[in-house]
Structure formats: structure tokens, C-alpha cells
Amino acid sequence: MGNLSESELIFEVTEEADSGYVAECLTESIVTQGDTWEELRAMVKDAVDAYFFHGPKPQWIRLHLVGNEVLSMRRKVPVT
């Protein structure tokens, strides 16, 4: 990473179908998960601390929750 004192790591977060969240960093090899949003936040901080154990850490961590919605294009048949 460049200037870590002003840096930001961005994690793409997805909600798993069987509950829980998975966070994957877009720029570093960091992946973690949590059963709740609060647990995920703590796990991301722990993972970043471990990854940058011997060096300066980023100033900010951004969690970007990715929504996955499927829309039907089938026409509704009116009920008569």
C-alpha cells in the first residue's frame, strides 16, 4: 500500500443465504466472516490487524454491502 496514514481498505460484503456475512478486501488478500453485522465488523478489524501485524495499518476500513436481488420479468396474469 502507498501512504498508509491516509489509506483506506475497501471490503465487499455479501450476506450469505444461510445467514451471516462474508467480507473480502478488494486490494489485499484478506477474507473473513461473521454471523452478525457487529461480529463481522470485529472480525474485519481483527483480520486487518493480523494482516498488517509488522507494519503500519490503514487509517480507514470501508465495508460495502453488496445487494443481490433477482427481479422477475414474467408478466402477472390478472385474476378474474
Contact (CB, 8 A) for 7 and 28: no
Task: Report the distance separating Cα 5 and Cα 57, nearest Å.
Answer: 7
Judge whether 31 and 23 are in contact, CB under 8 Å.
Answer: yes
Distance CA 52, CA 61 (A): 13
Domain limits of the chain? 4-66
Contact 72, 18 (CB under 8 A): no
pLDDT at 2 over 70: no
Classify strands 8-15 and 60-66 as parallel, antiparallel or unpaired: parallel
Using one digit for the tens of pLDDT, what is the confidence trace for 11-63? 999 998 888 999 999 999 999 999 999 999 999 999 999 999 999 999 999 99
